[in-house]
Structure 1
Amino acid sequence: MPKKPRSQRRKKGTCLSADVDGDRENGDVDVLSEDHTVADSVSVQSFVDDFETGDEVDFDSASDEASASRAAISAAARQTNLGDALSLASTIPTEKRSAKREQHLRKLFKAITQYATGEQGRESVYAKLDDIVIPACFAGLRGGIASPAEQYAACRVLEATSIIIGGDMDDYCEAIDDQLRKTIKATGRASMVRGAALRALCMAHFICGTDMSATNSVLDLCEAVCAAKYRGEEVNPTLRAIALDSWALLSTTVADAYIAGDELGGVDDSGRGIIILPILQECLNHTSVELRSAGGECVALIHEARLNLGINDDEGENATERRYRRGKFWDMLQILSSLEADPPRNFNGTSHDF
């Protein structure tokens, strides 16, 4: 049997597929830069250029008829481009080249975010959800086969799809939940890929989901990932910041008492926000500006929930207020005050800009 060309051979030390539970993958890790984006080649100008048909069309007329004609042509062009992108995406599960799959996913992301406008665009995406969009993204998330850039693009497509199809779509959340969780839990995958998967999962439950038990399960996952260690390994600061941002987003969908009160939440009858205060305190002292910023926003959200519950008096008339005065939240305010008075400094001696 003839050997494969050298360019098609699998590198030594890489795996062909992920573990059953998504725990470990021996592929390239953290090869994506922290500013990697699936839309790096998309610009406002490219959006306009995509509507050019090559024919000279006179849009200079100010008449209503000309305006209506221009709008109709633009709508038809958007629908055509969306259909073309969906058609290309249908070939992703059978495409053998990772670069080609990534290219098709990028085009699909651009089509969903720029061409799927109005009810017609939404219906076009929704109609192809189970047959094209989800299978294409799952094909792009195959560990050991898909490149990190391809996996990242697949997650971004799922995130954008959540925004387009809108609310009351629990079926969509259930369809993508398990695969995205496996990606997030796979500590061998690139941090940017795991972060993109976590954002996609949270966006789906934030916009499309109505099941609060599922939302709480995602909050549990965010709280686990934002810790310094997850599944026995150090967590990248960027991934921790994404987890905190996702936690803050989903926290806006639950009652204030569940975040900062006594009646709902953890095993010690504290709200979710009170339980993660030790983690937030550590984040505020971290060298990563992104992580400190995400931690500070979570502290502000928890404090706002406390104010909404009426826990803002100095006498400490209830149990929650007394815990606040002698507990971690009071320590958090002291840290924030000290940071404001004496900002931490970079290694070159300059202050961080908060």
Structure 2
Amino acid sequence: MRAVRFHGREDIRVDEIEEPLCGDGQIKIRPAFVGICGTDLHEYLTGPSTVPTVPHPLTGDKLPTTLGHEFCGTVEEIGAGVTGLQVGDRVAVKPNLFDGTCSTCIRGRFNSCENLGFIGYSSQVGGLSDHVVVDKKNAIPLPDSIPLDIGALVEPLAVAWHAVSRSPLQANDTVLVVGTGPIGLAIIQVLKAKGITSIIAVEVSERRRELALSMGATEALDSVGINGVAHVHALTGNSGADVAFECSGVQAGLDTAMGGLRVRGTTVIVSLWEQKPVIDAFAIVLQEKHVTGAAIYDDGDFESVINAISSGDIKPSSMITSKIRMEEVDEKGFRALIEERDKHVKILVDISA
């Protein structure tokens, strides 16, 4: 079967590999649509950091690995002992892998497992292939009302749902979202679904500022050439935002998120950083501000997102800016997201095309 595999820096290939067998407690899925993520781009540009170069403790696999962790598809085979699913069912795949035995997992925080792994990074199992076998617990049912291309957006929306859940959000809060790439835009949609009516976005890209406004932001500030912190305070009666979400992964973005907060406000850091940022601890102490991290998702977050899409509270279709074939994944997928960043939000690979 075909599989898009990551071999190293700027080296992804459509390889022919063996079709996986469906074991006990597992299901085989025919992927439909697969999203390309910012972490995929990071691995592609800089070389393996999340992708294991030595055998992963959970899977035993290393480079080359099959990519694709934002995906959905149709069940085509059921392993022994699997209940609650049948052939033909549509599922979104929750890709995180955990050992269940480390001190973090024992506390029930599987999203922060000490040996955390991912379908689509840590093994030969990934959505960018003709067939995928996963454990039943990784397959979350999709209702027929959700198209399969939208089903591929459940994973990044679950990241956003979890980040918002990690904040002390209140109904009348003013919220600051710094960086409106796919996750920032997803957070704006989740905030809107939760009834937040005052959302300030800060973003360098004009196209993404427009998208932020269309998805629920009430203000969208250009982060170039202005004092973003001063503008946020001006928009909030010189008080500052109650909650901020840092989605940019750059120092200027974190400075805006922290500086734009009110006294005792909370910044939730969602982005993954290539370099350690600097935080003004003096300002945090004097203004009693809070800093919180948000790592992927908890149990139930996928289901909450699916329910919100089904009810119409989240309408994420405008995040999809292109659909491509598997054989086009390098040029029209990875390269397009790098070289035409302002043009794209989420590029989906159509496995059936």
- TM class by shorter chain equals under 0.3
Structure with higher RCO (Cα < 8 A, 6+ apart): 2
Whose radius of gyration is greater, 1 or 2?
1
Instruction: Give the TM-score taking structure 2 as reference length.
Output: 0.26
Task: Name the structure where helix makes up a greater proportion of residues.
Answer: 1
Instruction: Give the TM-score taking structure 1 as reference length.
Output: 0.26
